[in-house]
Chain A
Amino acid sequence: AQSVTQLDSQVPVFEEAPVELRCNYSSSVSVYLFWYVQYPNQGLQLLLKYLSGSTLVKGINGFEAEFNKSQTSFHLRKPSVHISDTAEYFCAVVGGRNTDKLIFGTGTRLQVFP
């Protein structure tokens, strides 16, 4: 069965510091992975996705993630965060073969301080 684990429920960081949000997955089928961001009082929007090809995926707002098959990880990184990056971040994996459903992690709240 597919599952996603986000070990950090909250990550506090100062502005302009680097950040890494961790995501580990379990999947018995081909792995398609996603990071979504939810800004306060908004729905989720796609940050980036890994479907195949290069293991380093670049997304919007300067974020990138690396697919690591041996460690079953898909960590999200940004070299220098801004106050406006304060949001909740969700990792997701496709829920199985021949399905359009996604399995979401429990989310990581990134809080950027000045």
Chain B
Amino acid sequence: DVKVTQSSRYLVKRTGEKVFLECVQDMDHENMFWYRQDPGLGLRLIYFSYDVKMKEKGDIPEGYSVSREKKERFSLILESASTNQTSMYLCASNPLAREKKNIQYFGAGTRLSVL
């Protein structure tokens, strides 16, 4: 089974802190994604990475950055956390293999509260 692991289930941070959300996948997938999930808004893509050191902005990248130094790990960084970044953050990965193309595998999520 594919396993996507997010390092924290719950995080509480203060406004202005630098926050790191970590995601690791164990299936050698090329693509990795960071979403935020808010009630009534569904999932919105923050950033996407299609290879090591490669990244692409999603729909709501403002206030976020990402890092992918190794294929299995994709980090989301909040440079200076703000209260409007309180949300559920979901990491996903997917392979390029044709038969599994576009099927994304998700971690359990990190619920971040910024106070």
Using a CB-CB cutoff of 8 Å, which residues 79-114 of chain A contact chain B? Answer: 90, 94, 100-102, 104-107
Q: Is the CB of B108 within 8 A of A43?
A: yes
A interface, by DSSP: helix, strand, loop or mixed?
loop
Chain A residues near B103 (CB, 8 Å)? 34, 46, 49
Give Cα distance in the complex from A42 to B107, angstroms: 8
Q: Quick check: is A45 within 8 A (CB to CB) of the other chain?
A: yes
Give Cα distance in the complex from A51 to B90, angstroms: 24
Q: Known contacts being A43-B107, A43-B108, is A32 close to B102, with CB within 8 Å?
A: yes
Give Cα distance in the complex from A32 to B98, angstroms: 13
Q: Is the CB of A100 within 8 A of B101?
A: yes
Give the contact stretch, choosing among B41-49, B61-69, B74-82: B41-49
Q: Is the CB of A34 within 8 A of B90?
A: no
Give Cα distance in the complex from A87 to B109, angstroms: 15
Chain B residues near A9 (CB, 8 Å)? 40
- Residues on B lying within 8 angstroms of A by beta carbon are 4, 31, 33, 35, 40-45, 48, 50, 58, 90, 92, 94, 96, 101-109
